[in-house]
Structure 1
Amino acid sequence: MGVSHISNRSGQRSRGWSRRGILAALGAVPAAALAGCSSSADASAASDGKDAAATARAATTKKATITVTPAPGTGKAGFTSPVEVTVADGTLTSVTVAGNDGSTLSGSFNEARTKWTSARNPYSGTKYTVTAKAEGAAEASVTTFTTRSPGATFVGYFTPEAGATSGVGMPVSINFTHAVADRAAVQKAITVTAEPAVEVVGHWFSDTRLDFRPETYWAPGTKITLSLRMKDVEGADGVYGIQHKDVTFHIGREQISTVDLSAKTMTVKRNGETVAGYPVTGGGSGHTTWSGIMVISERFEQTRMESSTVGLGDEYDIPDVPHAQRLTTSGTFVHGNYWASTAVFGQQNTSHGSIGLHDTKGAGDSSVAGYKFYESSMLGDVVIVKNSGERTVDPANGLNGWNLSWADWKAGSAV
């Protein structure tokens, strides 16, 4: 009986507890289950949204990277290639390249504006500052590099001198200090222009000499500009030009003098009109005067003339030849002569190849032919010699390229 009673009470208590537990379970489990499902879904959605936003922000704020060639900080950069600026993850908005010599390098962008290339190479021996801005960068990129200096260099010495006024026959003649192997490269770096405009062409007489002239004599009053752009032009292997300059010359009046050594006379024409005539003496037998068109290239009120300097031994040595004007490199002059008899002029050809006019010792007598002709002349004036019994002067012997036809002159151009 006792056992049965206890078992029954125990069973009642067990059933009563189960109802409360079930009710509690029915009230809590679904709520917990619903709460658990809702929290997981919301967190996942929020996480996906945050990741997408972060990715978008990262894509829009990725830093643009600018690269400069030559590399920043280079101390001995090359100068035979253009400067390049590129950008990754952005577009270039502006690029400036400035040298410490005051020069700047212009350039152009590619279509996508991700690359800029200078229009020409940087100069040697120059420090450059490169300032580049990109749309995706917060600040401009500022870098520097320095180009190396060339090991060997050359220059061109030019005639006439800057600012000079010359006669209508004066070519622009350039003599280089080093033999030029790449004639085309050097000639392209040199231009000669005229006002009023006329075609001007270069002609190479040798690997160290380049002359420029028009087809016919310059017009009186012409302004001539020589532009040298030879800096860093490689004229020979490892040998670079260093000149970058413009010089101007002017042409004065036209004076053309014709020497007829058969008649032994000189006729001087100024702007087409005869202004003077002089009796002369030319080269005698064995020393005939060159014929052809010659240009006055040097002038001396007095100068020493020695036969040994022109390969004639000790035939003469005159320390004070008056009013001497050079016509050829080899030693032909038109000059005053005080040592010959006045009867020689206009009657005999007795010189060693030059053209002589009567003059006086000391070069101070304004009444004589030598003085008058000298005073009326200038560098670049034309002197034409005919009937001398000698062949035409070599066009390279002095400034005498006018003895070449225009076709032959142009054939000597490298461009």
Structure 2
Amino acid sequence: MLAGCTAGGAGAFGGGEGGAGRGGDTIRVTPHDGARDVPPDGRLEVRVPSGRLESVRVRRVEDAEPAEVPGAVTPDGLRWRPGAGTRLAPAAKYAVDAVALDGHGRRSARHTTFTTLVPAHRFIGYFTPEDHATVGTGMIVSFRFNRPVRDRAAVERAVRVTADPPVEVAGHWFGADRLDLRPERYWRPGTRVTVDLRLRDVEAAPGVYGVQRRTVRFTVGRSQVSRVDAAAHTMEVRRGGRLLATLPVTAGASRTTTYNGRMVVTELFETTRMNGATVGFTDAQGKGEYDIKDVPHAMRLTDSGTFLHGNYWAEPSVFGAANVSHGCVGLRDVRGGSATSPAGWFFDRTLVGDVVEVVNSRDRKVAPDNGLGGWNMDWRRWKAGSALR
């Protein structure tokens, strides 16, 4: 089952951000979300058919040297284009974040990613977290390769993760194109982690060689682990083991339950769009069961569409009393988001890499390769997935 979220009824909306939208104020991005092998000099544009673009940010991500793509919104507010002569980097991943206003001042948001062309017979690993990031103690170093890896041992040997203070770090392969690395337990707060990539000229498959050689560093911040009890409709937020707050929540309804297990925050959005069609919730005509353009304080927990996010459309009495979502975890919020709401309070205290654990849901445990779900696998099984064992 794909996880998403909504609050039931005529005003219901839910999870699965970044999907193809419908309606007059849809934000349209070229190249399309998830596009691969985009030519570095190919067309890059963000546009709306009406209203105006409030902000557009295009940047190279998952790279040791993230870079903004220069550009500007046209005077009529309908289009954003890169600066004259701009050429994207080859073998790179880019993220587009755009916010638009319609004629009534209502905001909608769009987040998409695409990757540029990798030269023939070369491979590259797109990784998280970013260089110089400060992350939560649950961060897992994750590589996704653009081509299937046949010689997993050679590639794994070329990716070295070390920590100060020292701790054993082991890799685990999920299929032929993903390698995750983590310690046995959550990182100790304050740990400084170094990722040395020595993939250049490593032969991953017959005739396919790596192009990367760089060093990435990140720091582990304070420990924050939040425990969602789907039966009690509460979330306990603990910082360094000390209870900070118990917040009322709504989780997945009986037919669209929330995954159990430990999940890691991988993305944070002040505002994002969620469309049910992107996570498999469609009506008889194949359209999304919900489509909301301004979900506030959204924190991604799984690749399949589970978020912990602000909810302004459900009745206040729902929070702490009933589960009505399509699989996400909802915190009370207001339209546009408020720093003083439960969702805003939690969002402002959350890092990428923080852990959210769900218990007492009537669903199965989240898969270890769904987002950064590797903490749901014990250490013996985790190490058994290494090509170096």
TM-score by length of 1: 0.63
**Residue 210 in 1 paired to residue 179 in 2?**
yes
Amino acid at match of 1:304: R
Q: Deviations over 1:77-130 (max 9, x none)?
A: xxxxxxxxxxxxxxxxxxxxxxxxxxxxxxxxxxxxxxxxxxxxxxxxxxxxxx
Q: Contact 1:151/1:238 (CA < 8 Å) preserved in 2?
A: no
> 5 Å matches for 1:191-206?
191-206=160-175
Amino acid at match of 1:406: W
1:379 to 330, 352, 355: 352
Report the counterpart of residue 339 of structure 1 in structure 2. 313
Q: Contact 2:339/2:348 (CA < 8 Å) preserved in 1?
A: no
Report the counterpart of residue 32 of structure 2 in structure 1. none
Measure, in 1, the Cα distance between the counterparts of 2:251 and 2:165: 38
Amino acid at match of 2:341: V
Report the counterpart of residue 328 of structure 1 in structure 2. 302
Q: Deviations over 1:259-313 (max 9, x none)?
A: 0011000000001111111000000011000000000001100100000000001
Measure, in 2, the Cα distance between the counterparts of 1:382 and 1:175: 21
Deviation of 1:151 after TM superposition, in Å, equals 5.4
Relative to its length, the structure with more strand (as a share) is: 2
Amino acid at match of 1:411: A
Deviation of 1:366 after TM superposition, in Å, equals 2.2
Report the counterpart of residue 258 of structure 1 in structure 2. 227
Measure, in 2, the Cα distance between the counterparts of 1:272 and 1:348: 27
Amino acid at match of 2:360: N
Report the counterpart of residue 203 of structure 2 in structure 1. 234
Q: Deviations over 1:52-80 (max 9, x none)?
A: xxxxxxxxxxxxxxxxxxxxxxxxxxxxx
Q: Secondary structure at the match of 2:162?
A: strand
Q: Deviations over 1:24-79 (max 9, x none)?
A: xxxxxxxxxxxxxxxxxxxxxxxxxxxxxxxxxxxxxxxxxxxxxxxxxxxxxxxx
Deviation of 1:177 after TM superposition, in Å, equals 1.1
Relative to its length, the structure with more helix (as a share) is: 1
Amino acid at match of 2:324: T
Choose between structure 1 and 2 for higher RCO, CA contacts under 8 A separated by at least 6 residues. 2
Q: Secondary structure at the match of 1:179?
A: coil
**Residue 388 in 1 paired to residue 349 in 2?**
no
Instruction: Tell me how many residue pairs correspond in the alignment.
Output: 265
Q: Secondary structure at the match of 2:336?
A: coil
Q: Deviations over 1:359-390 (max 9, x none)?
A: 00001x22210110100101000000000111
1:354 to 325, 328, 345: 328
> 5 Å matches for 1:8-407?
152-313=121-282, 314-363=288-337, 365-407=338-380
Amino acid at match of 2:325: S
Q: Secondary structure at the match of 2:137?
A: coil
Amino acid at match of 1:388: S
Measure, in 2, the Cα distance between the counterparts of 1:202 and 1:236: 19
Measure, in 2, the Cα distance between the counterparts of 1:236 and 1:281: 47
Measure, in 2, the Cα distance between the counterparts of 1:312 and 1:244: 42
Measure, in 1, the Cα distance between the counterparts of 2:336 and 2:330: 16
Amino acid at match of 1:275: L
* Deviant stretches of 4+, over 4 Å: none
Measure, in 1, the Cα distance between the counterparts of 2:235 and 2:272: 22
Q: In percent, how many aligned pairs have the same letter?
A: 56
Measure, in 2, the Cα distance between the counterparts of 1:338 and 1:151: 48
Amino acid at match of 1:211: D
Deviation of 1:350 after TM superposition, in Å, equals 0.2
In structure 2, runs of 5+ residues without a counterpart are 1-118, 283-287
Measure, in 2, the Cα distance between the counterparts of 1:152 and 1:225: 28
Q: Contact 1:255/1:269 (CA < 8 Å) preserved in 2?
A: yes
In structure 1, runs of 5+ residues without a counterpart are 1-149
Amino acid at match of 1:217: Y
Report the counterpart of residue 384 of structure 2 in structure 1. 411
Measure, in 2, the Cα distance between the counterparts of 1:261 and 1:203: 30
Report the counterpart of residue 111 of structure 2 in structure 1. none
Q: Contact 1:179/1:207 (CA < 8 Å) preserved in 2?
A: yes
Measure, in 1, the Cα distance between the counterparts of 2:385 and 2:131: 25
Q: Secondary structure at the match of 1:280?
A: strand
Q: Contact 1:157/1:176 (CA < 8 Å) preserved in 2?
A: yes
Measure, in 2, the Cα distance between the counterparts of 1:378 and 1:219: 15
Q: Contact 1:296/1:383 (CA < 8 Å) preserved in 2?
A: yes
